[in-house]
Amino acid sequence: MSNAFFTADLHLGHRLVSDLRGFDTVEDHDCAVMDNLAATLGTSDTLWLLGDISAGGGGGQRHALALIEEVLVSRGRTVHLIPGNHDGVHPLHRNALKWDGPYRQVFASVQPFARRRIAGRNVWLSHFPWRGGGDHTDIDRYETVRLNDDGTSWLLHGHTHSLEAIDYERRQIHVGLDAWDLRPVPLEEIAALVNATEVAVPR
């Protein structure tokens, strides 16, 4: 049976992020990230990757795409991309169209956001938190490409690099690697968190 997982912010080939995550080299970082994904996902499983496969730039993106193709896609995993600000294919970049082909050769789908039904709730997928929902800088960036909090839906996101996984009041779950010990989050755990916090947070 196929299982679904969620993650964000691989940042393959990104020296700054590999340093912040405690690795001696970028190569060690990339091996750990990809090994964790390969070890967690079965050969028929699906991964929703919520953006920032690399630090950006032509070489960095090609490096990340090649690793994802080699380690995951060529071995039967299905990977959907919700691109982030470091991904050239995101429509916030004026030259996004030139990256459309290379990204679609690797990913089963590429879309700026998506909507799923999890634990009976409406759940949006985006690289970014809700508009006004936080950043890893002093100000919230990329407001024009963030989703609005409708007051009832949940959101799975990356981008912040926070060690915290859940924002209870805003109904946001941060699925980025930094909050999950560099591992993807299974659908069952997302569903359990949504159910638990629906009870815990007063309406």
Query: Is the Cβ–Cβ distance between 80 and 45 less than 8 Å?
Result: no
The reported pLDDT for the residue numbered 159 is 96
Domain, as residue range, for 194: 4-200
Mean pLDDT of 101-120: 98
Which residue, among 116, 56, 58, 106, has the nearest Cα to 81 in the 3D structure? 106
The reported pLDDT for the residue numbered 203 is 40
Rounded to the nearest angstrom, the gap between the alpha carbon of residue 144 and the centroid of all alpha carbons in its chain is 19
Query: Is the Cβ–Cβ distance between 185 and 8 less than 8 Å?
Result: no
Query: Is the Cβ–Cβ distance between 78 and 37 less than 8 Å?
Result: no
Whole-angstrom distance, CA of residue 36 vs CA of residue 88 = 25
Mean pLDDT of 172-183: 98
- Give the chain's mean pLDDT: 93
In single-letter form, the type of residue at position 175 comes to: V
The CATH number assigned to the domain holding 43 equals: 3.60.21.10
Q: What is the pTM of this model?
A: 0.93
Domains contained in the chain, number:
1
Q: Which helix (H) or strand (E) holds 79?
A: strand 78-81
Which residue, among 171, 161, 164, has the nearest Cα to 84 in the 3D structure? 161
Which residue, among 185, 188, 152, has the nearest Cα to 170 in the 3D structure? 152
Mean pLDDT of 159-188: 96
Please report, for residues 162, 193, 197, the alpha-carbon distance to residue 166 in angstroms, rounded to integers and kept in the order given.
10, 8, 9
Tell whether the torsion through CA atoms of 145, 190, 176 and 32 is positive or negative: negative
Query: Is the Cβ–Cβ distance between 82 and 111 less than 8 Å?
Result: yes
Mean pLDDT of 21-37: 98
What pLDDT digit, counting tens, does each position of 75-91 carry? 999 999 999 999 999 99
The reported pLDDT for the residue numbered 143 is 85
DSSP 9-36: ---BT-HHHHHHTT-SSHHHHHHHHHHH
